[in-house]
Amino acid sequence: MKVGILAGGLGTRLAEETELRPKPMVEIGGKPILWHIMKYYASFGHTDFGIALGYRGDVIKRWLLEYASLASDLTVDLGRGEVRRLGGTVEDWSVTLVDTGLPTATGGRIKRLVPFLGTDGTFMLTWGDGVSDVDLDALLAFHRSHGRLVTLTAARPPARFGHLEFDGDRVAEFSEKPQTGEGWINGAFFVMEPGVADYIDGDDTQFELEPLIRLAKDGELMAYRHYGFWQCMDTIRDRKRLEALWADQPLWKVW
């Protein structure tokens, strides 16, 4: 099944890292978070990707063009101008890179990807800045069970601040990073049908606004509740958390 990844945003809330590169190329454990996302999908057998480029899309193109060489042992014949790969571990991925424009909003990027992703019907899609341990097999089975146009993964993110429980003025319990107990958010990790494009007017459409509102109103939007790990990378604090998890227990590393 084809997988779309939106990788064209400006990443303004992570400006310290995104001045010269798009947010999906910010590294966790020495690898771009885009690589982590693709590895996760590939672990479920989904290796055909369409990536929507925008801001500094050249960086993503260059990384993918160089990836096979950098991951392999090489013999370089300078005289003949030849390079021979001698082995190494290179993922068996097919990646279509689509320039969806610098100012294009999320809905517009999805609409531009649909012709590449929806040729066989159902496809998956996510943002290029978040990881999770969502069961993609169960997510896909849930989507196929209801027959609607879109399934989103509903997640409960970790709270950003320490949580206190009181006994009078005494702190009875302190949790540094509890999971939010109430409220579900759009955790992306979508499954979609090509007809979703009919709900997107054009490049200026924010998918999180009118399209999702209309899909919900028309009964075409379903939510798969994910109770496990989910983390986006909106800020430097988020990146540091992901780095710490990668060094200790990366729950999304299932490969």
**Does pLDDT of 45 surpass 90?**
yes
Kindly state the average pLDDT of the residues 23-48.
Answer: 97
Judge whether 65 and 51 are in contact, CB under 8 Å.
no
**Does pLDDT of 72 surpass 80?**
no
**Does pLDDT of 141 surpass 60?**
yes
Q: Average model confidence (pLDDT) for the chain?
A: 91
**Range scoring the smallest mean pLDDT among 47-56, 101-110, 152-161, 206-215:** 152-161
Can you give the pLDDT at residue 184?
86
pTM to 2 decimals? 0.89
pLDDT band of residue 11 (cuts 50, 70, 90) is confident
CA distance 243 to 240: 5
Q: Any idea where the domains of the chain sit in the sequence?
A: 2-248
Kindly state the average pLDDT of the residues 125-147.
Answer: 97
Give the CATH superfamily of 2-248: Spore Coat Polysaccharide Biosynthesis Protein SpsA; Chain A (3.90.550.10)
Tens of pLDDT, residue by residue over 191-240, are 999 999 999 999 999 999 999 999 999 999 999 999 999 999 999 999 99
Kindly state the average pLDDT of the residues 66-83.
Answer: 84
Can you give the pLDDT at residue 68?
75
pLDDT band of residue 13 (cuts 50, 70, 90) is confident
**Planar angle of CA 95, 123, 43, nearest 5 degrees:** 60
Can you give the pLDDT at residue 180?
54
HEC readout, the chain: CEEEEEECCCCHHHHHHHCCCCHHHCEECCEEHHHHHHHHHHHCCCCEEEEEECCCHHHHHHHHHHHHHHCEEEEEECCCCEEEEEEECCCCCEEEEEECCCCCCHHHHHHHHHHHHHHHCCEEEEECCEEECCCHHHHHHHHHHHCCCEEEEEECCECCCCEEEEECCEEEEEECCCECCCCCEECCCEEECHHHHHHCCCCCCCCCCHHHHHHHHCCCEEEEECCCCEEECCCHHHHHHHHHHHHHCCCCCCC
**Range scoring the smallest mean pLDDT among 13-17, 54-58, 91-95, 243-247:** 13-17
Can you give the pLDDT at residue 182?
55
**Does pLDDT of 83 surpass 90?**
no
**Range scoring the smallest mean pLDDT among 4-13, 134-143, 165-174, 240-249:** 165-174
Q: How many residues does the chain have?
A: 255
